[in-house]
A and B are shown apart, each in its own frame.
Chain A
Amino acid sequence: MPINFEKALGSHEQALMIQARRASAISSNIVNADTPNYKARDIDFKQALKKSQGDFLSMSQSHSNHIHAAGSDAMGIHLKYRTPLQPSLDGNTVDLDLEKSAYSENAVRYQTTLQFLTGRFKGMKNALAKE
Chain B
Amino acid sequence: MGLLQVFDIAGSGMSAQSVRLNTVSSNMANANNVSSSADDVYRAKNPVFATLMSNMQQDEASAGVQVTKIIESNSKAIQRYEPHNPLANEEGYIFQTNVNVIEEMANMISASRSYQNNVEILNTAKQLMLATLKIGQ
Q: What residues of chain B lie closer than 8 Å to A75, measured between beta carbons?
A: 59
Q: What residues of chain B lie closer than 8 Å to A114, measured between beta carbons?
A: 131-132, 135
A31 touching B64, Cβ below 8 Å: yes
B59 touching A27, Cβ below 8 Å: no
- Shortest B115–chain A CB gap in Å is 11
A118 touching B136, Cβ below 8 Å: yes
Interface residues of A in 102-122 (CB under 8 A from B): 103-104, 107, 110-111, 114, 117-118, 121-122
A31 touching B50, Cβ below 8 Å: no
Number of A positions contacting B (CB below 8 A): 41
Asked if A49 is at the interface (CB within 8 A of a chain B CB), the reply is no
Asked if A6 is at the interface (CB within 8 A of a chain B CB), the reply is no
- Using a CB–CB cutoff of 8 Å, the interface residues on chain B facing chain A are 1-3, 5-6, 9-10, 12-13, 17, 20, 49-51, 57-65, 110, 114, 117-118, 121, 124-125, 127-128, 131-132, 135-137
- Using a CB–CB cutoff of 8 Å, the interface residues on chain A facing chain B are 16-17, 19-25, 27-28, 30-36, 38, 41, 43, 71-75, 77, 79, 96, 100, 103-104, 107, 110-111, 114, 117-118, 121-122, 125
